Amino acid sequence: MNQILLGTGDVSRLLNIAKHKLEYAISNGSVPEPKQRVANKRAYTTNEVLTIAKYFGVNITIGDHAEKGGE
């Protein structure tokens, strides 16, 4: 089974948040670093994107996953 990986810019566009906000959340430890890298760039899995969406309070549906943002 192929796994979909998204870059930082892809995730920020998908969640409609500024890229620098995502990078800052990672740098201060609010959001964990993605476990994978491709060509030394961050590569986010579906579950990691859902975690980021929850942190930023964004409602998102990806495939079979539905996540409701923070409170």
Q: Write the pLDDT tens digit of every residue in 12-69.
A: 999 999 999 999 999 999 999 999 999 999 999 999 999 999 999 999 886 655 555 5
The pLDDT score that the predictor gives to residue 61 is 80
Q: Please, which pLDDT band fits residue 70 given cuts at 50, 70 and 90?
A: very low
The pLDDT score that the predictor gives to residue 60 is 84
- Which amino acid is located at 37 in the chain? R
Based on its alpha-carbon atoms, the radius of gyration of the chain, rounded to whole angstroms, reads 11
- Do residues 46 and 15 lie in contact, with contact meaning Cβ atoms separated by under 8 Å? no
